[in-house]
Every structure is written in C-alpha cells, then in structure tokens.
Structure 1
Amino acid sequence: MTDATALPPIVDQATWRRELDALRVREKAATRELDAIAAQRRRLPMVELPDYTLVGPDGPVRLVDVFEGRSQLIVYNHMWSPGKEWQCGGCTGFTSQYTRLDFLERYDARFVIVTQGTIDEALAYREKVGNRMDWYSTADSPFGEDMGAPLGGGFAVNVFLRDGDTVYRTWHTDGRGTEQLSHEFPLIDLLPWGRQEEWQDSPVGWPSRPTYEGWFDSPDIARLYGAAPV
C-alpha cells in the first residue's frame, strides 16, 4: 500500500500544463547545454598512445586492430576483481544494456568492453551474465591502468580515434559521468518517485532507500539474461 504522502498534488488540467511548461523551460535549457558540451567535446585536443597489445578471443591483438578498420572506438573499462565469482554489479548491469550496436557502423565507430581479468575469465563471465558485446583483456598490458581503470577497482569510458596505425585518446569519463551513456537512469528519472535513493532531493514522504539497493546485481543479470546456468 502506497503512503498517501507519496503522491503528487492533484490539480486541474490547466494548472498541470502551466507547471509542465515551467519545467520544460529548464529541460530545454539543459538540452541546449548538453549540445554546447558536445560541441566543446568535439573540439577537445587528443593525445597519441603507444602501441598497446590486448588479448581477444583469438589471442593477442593490437589496440589499433580492435577498431576492426573503423576510425573511432568507444571502450568501457569493466571493473574487475580477480577470483571473484561475481564482478561489479554496476558494470555488469550497465553493459547488459548494450545488445544492438550495429548502428555505430554508420558512424565509423565500434564499442567494446575491456577488463583487467584474463581473457578466459572474462569470456566465461561474459557468457554467465549474458553480455553481448565483444570483450578484450588487458591482464598483461598497462592499458587498463593507464586509462583510469586499475586492477581491483575503477571503471571508465574512453574514446579513441585512429589515423592509420596511430591511435589517439580523445575523451574519458568515470563515476556518474557514465550515466549519460545509459538508458536506465534517464527512464527511471522520468518516474514520479525517481530513483527512490536517499541522496536525492525528493518531497517529504517519497519512497527512499539506500543508494544501489534498487539496482540489479550481477546474479540478477545472470538469472535474467545469462546463457549458462548459475
């Protein structure tokens, strides 16, 4: 039974439209600001990278070859803790969203996952949780740590540009910066009660629980999407 205080005020249609229009002004301003941020991002300088070697399903592969002929590459650095049955629930849930990425081909781009786990461990976990993206290992390379995702802690998104056989790093984010790449939180934020997490600014009486409590953990992802019994 829902607490009666966890309900927005009930108003007439004209009042609702007026309040929505007022909010829309801020939403439009935020959209324009995101456009301006994207424009600034397109003007960022870049840094040339050394010739890293990762490991894929078929063995060692140069970073430049991970592009598979494309000019642009987005890499999600998946947090990894050696020997753990379940890896980071946030990373597992985040990457489970990406099941159809063919549209990136028209933008001369690719999106892959890189992790500090060995390739055998990484691929086994990929199947266990039903992930559909291509995975690579940096267990024998400094690439993960250099990109802000050291072994045992840290996740990140990095973007790269290839010019011939030379690879450049163009952008990086971590923490809540990754939310812009998720469809999960934007959808939840549309709901009247939002994320229902105690850190958020919500009206008195709104449902509230500790941060992360509502998130799917790795076993939940495996149960719903995994290809192997768990």
Structure 2
Amino acid sequence: MTSADTARAALPPVVDYETWRRELDELRVREKAATRELDAIAAQRRRLPMVKLPEYTLVGKDGPVRLADVFEGRSQLIVYNHMWFPDSEWQCPGCTGLTSQFTRLDFLEPYDARFVIVTQGPIDDALAYREKVGNRMEWYSTADSDFGADMDAPPRGGFAVNVFLRDGDDVYRTWHTNGRGTEQLSHTFPLIDLLPWGRQEKWQDVPDGWPQDDTYSRWFSAQDVAAHYGPHGA
C-alpha cells in the first residue's frame, strides 16, 4: 500500500451530527481545563523571582551594544538564542524555521517589550544568514561575550528562550526555556495540531492507520525557508 493509499484510508469514522457534537463537547471540557491550567502557569511565571545579571556587551548591526541598551528603552526583553555552527552554510532548521514566523513585532511596543535574536555567530556572518533566509528580526552576536553560554546557549550548544526585565541600567533574568518549551512561541504547531492527522510524527498517539513519519521529516529545512522567504524566494 502506498503512502497515498494509507492517507486515503486514514479517515475518522463518520457519525451523525448529534454524536459529533457530543464528542466535541466532551473534548471541549479538556480543552477549557488546559486553558485554565495555562492561565495558572502564566500566573506562577509572573510570580517568579529574578536574578541580577552582570553587564554584558553584545554586537549588533551598528557595533558593540550593552545588553541594557538592547532593550531600546523598553523594560522587557525576549531573546531567542539561535543555534550557530561556524562551519555550516545552513544553520539549525528548527531555529531558522521558528524565527522566520516573526515578521511583525510592533504589537509588543504597547507592552513595553522587545523580541530579538542572539546567536554565537560573528555579527557579519549572522546578518548575512539573516538576509539569506529572509529573517525579519533584529540579530545580535554574543561571539565575544559570555552572555550566550551564561544563558544556557553556549557555542555549538542548543537553542533557548530567555526573558529579561530592565530597571535603569540593571538587567534581570526572569525566565528561561528550551526544547519543546519553545513551542509556545510558535503558531505552526498549534495550527498543525488542529488537523485530523496532526503532526504525522511517529512519537504521537494516533489511531491505527494514521500517516506517520520520522520526527522532523515534514519540517522545513533552512534551505526551504530561504527558498520561500529569502531574497530570491517565491
């Protein structure tokens, strides 16, 4: 049986409207409970203590810049620590794909916040990569700073999300996540998870016969991102 045949066979049972509505209502109870739990998690996050940071100097498109000045006058800062491998033409597809989503960030301004990328790559290389893949975020380099390593994103290490609060020239680290914790920043997985076949990855709990492939097999590669969103993209 071909993959196309498998996909055609992978259909939910067909029922009458009343049965569909009853099962949807049962699911809605769990969905609403999850929403309330996320609200409770966010409330706990707002009550986290914070840690004061030493002064760091990063490098942006205009040269060296203090971490406190990366806020550009705002009080809150989200940083995506983008993986970087110096010998690679194409960087992490997950980082490249996730951050390609953020083309309009002005909505953060009323919240006194900013969202930027920090990477271990030298700034000229980082900006060239940004252009190649069509990224629209502001990039900074921590290649000559301990900032990335101190924020759990060391050279040749993983990705991370960190959040900071500024009080004058003092900067505090308030929150950190990595791994699947970064999914909450994305709109891609929430959309895909609404689909009857979901992410179609082998680790997921699905009905018998549902199409499933290796994890990451359907993700855009960095080359795909560049082809779609880069300067020569569609």
| TM-score, reference length from structure 2 | 0.96
> Could you say which residue in structure 1 is the equivalent of 2:39?
35
Correspondence 1:172 to 2:176: yes
SS in 2 for 1:214: coil
**Which residue identity is paired with 2:65?**
V
Deviation per residue, 1:147-187 (Å, 9 max, x gap)? 01111120000000000000000000000000011000000
Correspondence 1:139 to 2:143: yes
Which of 199, 203, 209 is matched with 1:199 structurally? 203
Deviation per residue, 1:29-82 (Å, 9 max, x gap)? 000000000000000000000000000011100000000000000000000001
Measure the CA separation in 2 of the matches of 1:103 and 1:227. Answer: 25
Correspondence 1:65 to 2:69: yes
Which of 109, 133, 136 is matched with 2:113 structurally? 109
Report sequence identity in percent: 79
Mark the runs of 5 or more structure 2 residues left unpaired by the alignment.
none
Count of residue correspondences: 229
Measure the CA separation in 2 of the matches of 1:192 and 1:182. Answer: 19
Query: What CA RMSD, in Å, does the superposition of the two structures yield over aligned residues?
Result: 0.9
Structure 1 stretches of 4+ moved >3 Å: none
Measure the CA separation in 2 of the matches of 1:201 and 1:6. Answer: 14
**Which residue identity is paired with 2:202?**
E
Measure the CA separation in 2 of the matches of 1:105 and 1:166. Answer: 20
Measure the CA separation in 1 of the matches of 2:146 and 2:110. Answer: 31
> 1:83 Cα shift?
2.0
Correspondence 1:11 to 2:15: yes
SS in 1 for 2:27: helix
**Which residue identity is paired with 2:199?**
R
Measure the CA separation in 1 of the matches of 2:149 and 2:227. Answer: 31
Measure the CA separation in 2 of the matches of 1:12 and 1:2. Answer: 26
Correspondence 1:210 to 2:217: no
> 1:228 Cα shift?
5.4
Q: Is the 8 A contact 1:67 1:110 kept in 2?
A: yes
Measure the CA separation in 2 of the matches of 1:153 and 1:104. Answer: 28
Mark the runs of 5 or more structure 1 residues left unpaired by the alignment.
none
Q: Is the 8 A contact 1:127 1:228 kept in 2?
A: no
> 1:2 Cα shift?
4.1
> 1:227 Cα shift?
1.7
